[in-house]
Amino acid sequence: MTIMDESPTELAVECEAELAVAAPVVVQPPDTADRTAELLDLRRRVLAGPSDKATEAQHAKGKLTARERIDLLFDPGTFTEVEGLRRHRATGFGLEAKRPHTDGVITGWGLVDGRQVFVYAHDFRIFGGALGEAHAQKIQKIMDMAATTGCPIVGLCDGAGARIQEGVTALAGYGGIFQRNVRNSGVIPQISVILGPCAGGAAYSPALTDFVFMVRDISQMFITGPDVVQAVTGEAITQNGLGGADVHAETSGVAHAAYDDEESCLLEVRFLLSLLPSNNRELPPVERPGDPLDRRCDALVDLVPADPSRAYDMRSVIREITDHGDFFEVHERWAGNVICALARIGGQAVGIVANQPSVLAGVLDISASEKAARFVQLCDAFNIPLVTLVDVPGFLPGVDQEHGGVIRHGAKLLYAYCNATVPRISLIVRKAYGGAYIVMDSRSIGTDLSLAWPTNEIAVMGAEGAANVVFRREIAASEDPDATRRRLIDQYKEELMHPYYAAERGLVDDVIDPAETRIRLIGALTMLRTKATAMPSRKHGNQPQ
């Protein structure tokens, strides 16, 4: 039968059947709801981390995960992640088969007490937190975002250094981070929190930041590890013994603070941020003080002994004059003969530098000078007024100090004060002798207001030493040298070391009642809040090294 013999109806049915057999199956593309569901599932897996086993291993070391740390740092529900889906593009050594999202670092921003702060947090569960190309680019990007928006940045460091499989590309990533650390120095606050290993080149980034926090037993920082140290020097030492939290908080001065657990550490980071401005173009935040502005400090009269040779704890003075006695001490356990602290007085954030008579009689030495100098520079960079409490017998004498360069190290503190343009108030609590008096923000190097208690003794040196030098021949020629020495010491004190000698010559602005110290400081800080100082035009100074 031919086509001509078929009816039109039969022909149509046959053609439809043939078309039905030959037609391809049309698959409808996923709609927006499907794509959204896929995204949400992906995000869920990214937030969960690489595996439950990896999370358990992190907890078994006594460590929180990166996201748990972020939750502690920020106000609840305020963290926004950036590049959470980022993956590396490296090949070789099996890397192409292992490309987890985030690439081992979580970056983003959130609020701390309602103020915007940026963060990067190494995730040790992924590649041990090691830094590769994509990992470094994420950190660099968030550092740039912090700088351009004028906000602090916090690094939660828990990484094994450079990703060896990526070679020199990883090392170059560190270079970009270091460059940004330096460029942002004095522009935005930079805080490093060491919550795991931080070795080799990785240790230099925290060293370039404003503050370094560590946690005992889980934090270690060193350039070369224990194995290398033993191979080169023969010294056997543990990781904590080489670069643990207590080592850097007490011996090296690398860490500004050390804590027993991550929770208390991150709580203190939040407190520190509350005392700092967001950037160098802002003044520190002012809080409404619950502590009365007109509160007298009557306890100060009994806290500080009039005898200049008797020790006391200067922290007790700081607690009396600050709001509610709260302050954040920097390098509390390193160079204890000087105290550096951030606090509030009358709701205003201030930096306090104070000699500590209970440690080495409060003398200045190499470490104390370095500690105070860097703190003064920090306060000046971020517009934080300086209050200096002076009770200093001089610089520490000794061959070790001289050979160690106490001259150039002491000059660092002198340079820092002379270079500072923030409001500066000095209070001479008791003794202030020699060059150390000048260095501790005296009137002659530019303090805005110099106050003193009636217990002050300002002189080139103590009366006993001065009398032995000035009246040496008269004492030697007398029939009773001891009696003559005592008489001449009293004479020297009466003529040159009485409490009003410096005030009579304009080197002290006022001698005040110790009980009125807080009231007077609040008044002075309020008066100086609008201080503006023009500096010489220069690229930068050449400070002592």
Report the catalytic residues.
Answer: 200-201, 435-436
Distances (CA, A) of 334 to 254, 340, 372, 385, 536: 9, 11, 11, 23, 35
Tell me which DSSP letter residue 162 carries: B
**Structural element, H or E, at residue 428:** strand 424-433
| Distance set, CA 453 to CA 242, 387, 391, 411 (Å) | 45, 15, 11, 27
| Residue 37 CA: distances (Å) to CA of 30, 86, 99 | 11, 19, 22
Strand partners, 117: 110
Instruction: Please state, in angstroms and rounded to a whole number, the distance separating the CA atoms of residues 43 and 41.
Output: 5
First to last CA, the chain: 108
Buried b (16+ CB within 10 A) or exposed e, 405-416: ebeebbbbbbbb
Q: Measured on CA atoms in the order 297, 301, 302, 306, is the torsion positive or negative?
A: positive
- Residue by residue, what is the 3-state secondary structure of 504-535? HCCCCCEECCHHHHHHHHHHHHHHHCCCCCCC
* Residue 478 exposed, middle or buried by CB count within 10 Å (0-12, 13-18, 19+): middle
Fill in the amino acid letter for 27.
V
| Residue whose pair of structure tokens reads 């990484």 in the numeric block | 159
